[in-house]
């Protein structure tokens, strides 16, 4: 009887061990399957792709672009974690607000001379708009590297550009997340600002060489102020915006005298030069100036630029200035 009990116990033990082994085999098989699927997905991501750009060109995108030139689109690249091989510059100036990510990246002239572009040996060139490749420029750039044109307009919506650039790099999900995070931030900021100042009006002015320029209602920082944050645009801003396609338009002294803004964001490129315009009676009589509601920024700030990073920084600036 004792031997029978021992036999039964040993049989049960063997059975339990067999079940455990089978379970481990299943688990290992599942892990291997997941790893194989992950490897397959990664291999698929690295596949060369052909996309049609804004001009109708069929462009073969390298599997993993390593040397990208996307002049004046660096904001989008940085937002997606991509470092270009060269960065935009004009008159020895660069996009200072991006230098936390682009420090040390060599510069290239804004008009992208063919020799300069070729010297960087890019494997992908991205152009902001069709205007940058007018004439036979597209063919010339395309001989250097596959060239993709993002938009057909002079001023393309930065959200559309972000998603398009995400598509080019196979980073659609990341681009959508960047945009979603921005929209959430903008919506929350809008509520705070409206609670703080209600329907008080605001304008953004740029002072350079003793000349004032005013931002358009629907472009650049104006899009952030009025479109995303719901700030009230003064009549002068609305009037000038209706007759221009420029991000920033020169404002005459006559129109400056009519500017009844309650708040002014001033990008001061003349800082430290004793700008005469800031001493003029016309400037001194603007409501925002009389009430001390002037918020000054240097030209190195993000206020003159466009993109998810620039727009995010502007929201932070406006919150800091208006919400006490």
**Domains recognised in the chain with CATH numbers:** 49-176 (3.40.50.1980), 195-322 (3.40.50.1980)
The pLDDT tens digits for 240-272 are 999 999 999 999 999 999 999 999 999 999 987
- Digit-coded pLDDT (tens) for 30-70: 556 566 555 445 445 568 999 999 999 999 999 999 999 99
d(CA 32, CA 19): 20
Give, in degrees to the nearest 5, the angle at Cα 124 between 122 and 130: 120
Would you say 68 and 77 are in contact if contact means Cβ atoms under 8 Å apart? Answer: yes
User: Is residue 29 scored above 80 in pLDDT?
Assistant: no
Is residue 124 within 8 A of residue 67, CB to CB? The reply is yes
* Coil, strand or helix at 218: coil
- In sign, the C-alpha dihedral spanning 305, 311, 312, 313 is positive
pLDDT at position 34 is: 61
In this predicted structure, what is the pLDDT of residue 1? 47
How far apart are the C-alpha atoms of 219 and 153, rounded to whole Å?
13
Across all residues in the chain, what is the average pLDDT? 89
pLDDT band at 16; cut points 50, 70, 90: very low
Task: Over range 127-156, report the average pLDDT.
Answer: 93
Q: How far apart are CA 76 and CA 96, in angstroms?
A: 15
- Binned at pLDDT 50, 70 and 90, residue 276 comes out as confident
- Cβ(222)–Cβ(216) below 8 Å: yes
């Amino acid at each position: 009887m004792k031997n029978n009990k021992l036999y039964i116990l040993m049989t049960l033990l063997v059975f339990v061990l067999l079940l455990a082994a089978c379970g481990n085999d299943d688990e290992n098989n599942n892990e291997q399957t997941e790893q194989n699927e992950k490897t397959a997905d990664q291999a698929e991501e690295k596949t060369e792709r052909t996309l049609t750009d804004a001009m109708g060109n069929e462009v073969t995108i390298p599997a993993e672009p390593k040397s990208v030139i996307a002049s004046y689109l660096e904001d989008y690249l940085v937002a997606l974690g991509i470092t270009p091989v060269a960065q935009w510059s004009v008159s020895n100036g660069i996009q200072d607000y991006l230098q936390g990510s682009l420090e040390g990246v060599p510069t290239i002239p804004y008009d992208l001379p063919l020799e300069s572009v070729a010297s960087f040996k890019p494997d992908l060139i991205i152009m902001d708009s069709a205007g940058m490749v007018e004439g036979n420029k597209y063919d010339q750039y395309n001989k250097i590297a596959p060239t993709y044109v993002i938009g057909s307009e002079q001023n393309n919506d930065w959200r559309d550009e972000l998603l398009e650039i995400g598509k080019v790099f196979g980073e659609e999900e990341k681009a959508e997340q960047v945009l979603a995070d921005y929209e959430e931030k903008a919506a929350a900021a809008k509520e705070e600002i409206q609670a703080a100042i209600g329907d008080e009006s605001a304008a953004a002015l740029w002072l350079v060489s003793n000349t004032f320029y005013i931002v358009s209602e629907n472009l650049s920082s104006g899009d952030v102020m009025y479109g995303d944050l719901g700030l009230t645009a003064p009549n002068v801003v609305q009037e000038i915006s209706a007759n221009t396609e420029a991000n920033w338009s020169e404002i005459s002294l006559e129109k400056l005298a009519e500017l009844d803004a309650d708040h002014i964001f001033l990008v001061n490129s003349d800082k430290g030069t004793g700008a005469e315009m800031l001493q003029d009676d016309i400037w001194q009589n603007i409501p925002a100036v009389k009430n001390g509601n002037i918020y000054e920024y240097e030209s190195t700030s993000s206020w003159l630029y466009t993109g998810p990073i620039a727009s995010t920084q502007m929201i932070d600036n406006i919150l800091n200035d208006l919400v006490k």
